[in-house]
Structure 1
Amino acid sequence: MSLSKQELFDRIRRDSWQRQLSIRALSKKYGVHRRLVRERFPRPSHPAPPGGADVTVGVHVNVALARFS
């Protein structure tokens, strides 16, 4: 029995949600590559790395330059 692409994706999504199957388990169950399973799920957004740009350094430099002007 061959599933249409939409039916396959629906089953993958359902099994992922209901049975909490991993990407590897889903790909093995349905006989597809893990890349295809990953396509069906949104990528998690990555948080900003800690220690971002320090704006206060620029402020201190500008204040120091303003004093010498």
Structure 2
Amino acid sequence: KDFGESNRPRIDEFYLWLNGELESRDFIAGDDYSIADIVALTAIDFGRMIGVDIPESCTVVWAWHARVSARPSAQA
């Protein structure tokens, strides 16, 4: 738990970086949904489950998360 808490500032940095990357495209690795989106979605959902949420200021990440979470494959 201590290791996780000590890395919380890095998580915020990651979300800010991802927010900037997603401002110019719909998906993490380019124009199409890819394994990068799948891995990020599962990591973000796990983080949310353990209390590490997407910062409210990262509105582009929230929009991406909603979009990829609505895909039929994410519902399985």
TM range (shorter): 0.3 to 0.5
Task: State the structure with more CA Rg.
Answer: 1
* Greater relative contact order, per chain length (Cα 8 Å cut-off, separation 6+): 2
Higher helix share: 2
